[in-house]
Structure 1
Amino acid sequence: MHSAIRRSLPVLLLAVLSGLVTLTGPALAAPKPPTPNVPPPPPACSNKHTPPPPVDTSEKPAPGQQSPGPLPVPEQPVGGERMGDCAVVLPEGAPAPPQTTAVSWVLQDLDTGAVLAARDAHSRQRPASLIKTLLALAVVKELRPDQVITPTAEDVSQECTCVGLRTDGRYTVDQLLHGLLMHSGNDAAHALATALGGVPAAVRKMNALAASIGATDTRAATPSGLDGPGMSTSAYDLSLIFNHAMKQPEFAKAVGTRQFEFPGAGDKPPFPIYNDNKLLSSYPGFLGGKTGFTDDARHTYVGGAAQNGKRLAVVLLRAEQHPTRVSDQAAQLLDYGFALSKSNPKPVGQLVSLGEGQDGGPGSAVNGGSTGSVKGAEDPFGVTGWIVTLVVTLIVIGGFIFGNRRKKAAAEEA
């Protein structure tokens, strides 16, 4: 019996040890709880090169033509390294942003061009009517506000939304800008494009302007934002375009107008048009913006506001109206931005102009901020370099003083 006990002791001991490992193993191997407010790891950048596939035939090229290939993707993300991340990027220690249905969004400081927070900033999406901000920017740079335009039959027969232009009407550029930006009139967009030399010429000018201010993800296919072959943009680019556009008084005035008396034509009397942007009448300090929608782009939005000496703007792309209206989602992100800006956080990126036509020269950040990467504002020599230099300098000075004292002592002894 003692022999049996001796033989069973090792087995019993092994079983006890195995049980302890089983009990303690999972606890030891359990992952640490996630750090609060740290965004999840970035997903695969599924729209790094192109927007999602279209859901209809709106981007089918005309017979005998080919759809243009994707725009090149810069080796380094424009606006800073973190602008290449596909997940939410926030300043260190910042609270989590409000939930939004937007696939991509950017929150910027309109005065400095600093990006306060973003999600997949360079994700290539479709702009819908937000591309009208680029058309408007091209218009205010080339056409006089008082220039009179008589619409063509093609201008007035565009797929609506429409302001209601007529071929027997006469409209100034300023009036058409109000119709374009307040009511998102596709007829106004086409008439302004005709005044720029025709739709193909206007689209070329829009794309040249986008390239000149550093909007490298953007290619307009239509002046109105109706989907077309090769149409592409990003939340970063539309933030940059809106930043430039808001510096133009004609643009800023139009997007900030709640009601406008639009001229009649023939037997049609003048009539009021109202701004589509709901935040203009409900959000404190709202400056104006633009809304958009197509089946392929889904809901798109840009808007800015001023509070307590800060001017912020937000762009949302590929958003949905449920469970919360997109304008309300934008308002929540603006609230978040104003709260965040009180702590003066380090930006996660910077709107950067890359070519001609920008505010500060080639390679400049908007309003003189850092260029390329947000690290560009830091001393390239580095803190360590200055400390080493200081130590070496002190050693040299100390050696010089010690040498002089030895020479003086030797001279006195002699």
Structure 2
Amino acid sequence: MTRALPCLCDPAVCRRQLPLYGPRVRESSPLPPAARMSRRAVIGLGAAVPLTLAAPAAASPAPPASVGQGGEPGTIGGARLGRDGVQAQKTAGLPKKLTARSWLVADHDSGEVLASYNAHRRLAPASTLKMLFADTLLDKFERTRTYKVTDADLADVPSGSSLVGIRPGITYTVEQLWLGVFLRSGNDAVHVLSHMNGGLAKTVAEMQARAEDLQALDTRVASPDGYDHKGQLSSAYDLTLFARHGLKNKDFRGYCATRTADYPAGGKKTFQIQNTDRLLTGAWGLDVYEGLFGVKNGYTSNAGNTFTGAATRDGRTLLVTVMHPKSGGNGVYEETAALLDWGFAQAGAAGPVGALVTPLSEGGAKASPSPTAPVERAATGT
């Protein structure tokens, strides 16, 4: 039987009625006292995570040809990534009980894809799409800039969204808004930042343009927050591109590695928020994954669970994306951890089956999307 958990939020903000994150609000589980951190520790955490990741080496991009469904030459990232099923040079030791509809393991620095399963299958991304949102908007506003939230900023937040608890009339720093996005996956924080950027439509258009520059051509953006909308889709390949590019930004790295933070509740009051990434916090019976420092999880009733994680061990950084596992709430993290374990165990011995391509703005060769890429459980809005 699940034990009722105390609420960390200010009662005036939360009242245990705000929809937070994940099935039955399980993502809002508090950290044990030993894991909680002061605000000074939170803001200083960026120094403790691997902020000196080697700049991603230019991956060998696919030639500019139409992207095929069956692994034909021209598939973005390489022909094998266009094929169904497991793609790996060495399958020995690969986890045998994976239930995800799509997954991918890549080396962050080289961009080599070490293994994948339906890498380009288009699926509802849920809040992992916030990686693209952050990669698009992070450099637009200074961290110390302040903004007083209005009712209009929150008027179009979808019912049932995950929220950090932003309230009209309270002034927030940009840094606090981004902490709300990364830690609590707060759609209220996303919408405030979108309005600061000129509105939802402008933000969606800019996100789509950024996706196209990154050559994430499986992605269709319909909302900045990743919440279920008809036609809003991405893929394990694209989400891994978003993570890799986002991690070039030190603020992106710092935010996604932050475990807890104090959040404004009006006046001098604050309440504590914690990261919903269970491999980062060790919540809900999971162990903290050694070397993991983000990046983003997601859940909706339509998309199920999605997750992209990054971890460093023995000087090597791996990226893993897992989408739509059939197992329960911890399944997306357990399957991510298993794939990370496999990747680190290879110690460079696993040959690549493809590559994370270089953005067009950084000299990448242009490829074209597949008109027949598979679509599964397309978002319909819930």
Are 1:308 and 2:314 an aligned pair?
yes
Report the counterpart of residue 156 of structure 1 in structure 2. 154
Are 1:215 and 2:216 an aligned pair?
yes
Separation in 2, partners of 1:179, 1:324: 22
Separation in 2, partners of 1:220, 1:100: 28
Distance change (3 Å), C-alpha of 1:171 and 1:323:
closer
Report the counterpart of residue 317 of structure 1 in structure 2. 323
Post-superposition shift, 1:73?
7.1
- Contact 1:199/1:223 (<8 A) preserved: yes
Post-superposition shift, 1:96?
3.2
- Contact 1:121/1:234 (<8 A) preserved: yes
Unaligned ranges ≥5, structure 2: 1-64, 69-73, 282-287, 368-382
Report the counterpart of residue 297 of structure 2 in structure 1. 291
Separation in 2, partners of 1:195, 1:139: 10
Report the counterpart of residue 132 of structure 2 in structure 1. 134
Distance change (3 Å), C-alpha of 1:325 and 1:179:
same
- Contact 1:115/1:349 (<8 A) preserved: yes
TM-score by length of 1: 0.66
Report the counterpart of residue 54 of structure 1 in structure 2. none
Question: Mean alpha-carbon deviation: is it higher for 138-147 or for 235-244?
Answer: 138-147
Correspondence 1:49-64 to 2 at 5 A: none
Separation in 1, partners of 2:107, 2:324: 22
Distance change (3 Å), C-alpha of 1:344 and 1:364:
farther
Correspondence 1:157-236 to 2 at 5 A: 157=155, 158=157, 159=159, 160-236=161-237
Name the % identity.
37
Separation in 2, partners of 1:350, 1:312: 13
Separation in 1, partners of 2:152, 2:306: 26
Post-superposition shift, 1:154?
3.9
Post-superposition shift, 1:324?
5.4
- Contact 2:94/2:339 (<8 A) preserved: no
Higher helix share: 1
- Contact 1:213/1:353 (<8 A) preserved: yes
- Contact 2:325/2:331 (<8 A) preserved: no
* 1:149 counterpart SS class: strand
Separation in 2, partners of 1:96, 1:163: 37
Equivalent residue pairs, number: 289
Separation in 2, partners of 1:171, 1:136: 17
Distance change (3 Å), C-alpha of 1:314 and 1:174:
same
Report the counterpart of residue 355 of structure 1 in structure 2. 360
| Correspondent of 2:83 among 82, 85, 108 | 85
Separation in 2, partners of 1:354, 1:248: 15
Question: Mean alpha-carbon deviation: is it higher for 148-157 or for 234-243?
Answer: 148-157
Distance change (3 Å), C-alpha of 1:343 and 1:250:
closer
Cα RMSD, aligned residues only: 2.0
* Structure showing greater Rg: 1
Distance change (3 Å), C-alpha of 1:276 and 1:89:
same
Separation in 1, partners of 2:96, 2:252: 29
* 1:319 counterpart SS class: coil
Separation in 1, partners of 2:171, 2:137: 17
Report the counterpart of residue 106 of structure 2 in structure 1. 108
Unaligned ranges ≥5, structure 1: 1-71, 366-414
Distance change (3 Å), C-alpha of 1:93 and 1:261:
closer
Are 1:274 and 2:274 an aligned pair?
yes
- Contact 1:174/1:250 (<8 A) preserved: no
Report the counterpart of residue 67 of structure 2 in structure 1. 74
* 2:310 counterpart SS class: strand
Post-superposition shift, 1:354?
4.6
Higher RCO structure (Cα 8 Å, ≥6 apart): 2
| Correspondent of 1:97 among 86, 95, 98 | 95
Post-superposition shift, 1:149?
2.1
Post-superposition shift, 1:130?
0.5
What is the one-letter code of the residue matched to 2:151?
A
What is the one-letter code of the residue matched to 1:363?
A
Distance change (3 Å), C-alpha of 1:123 and 1:212:
same
Separation in 2, partners of 1:307, 1:346: 19
CA offset digits 1:76-132 (Å, max 9, x no partner): 210011110110011146433342221000111111111111000000111100111
- Contact 2:305/2:329 (<8 A) preserved: no
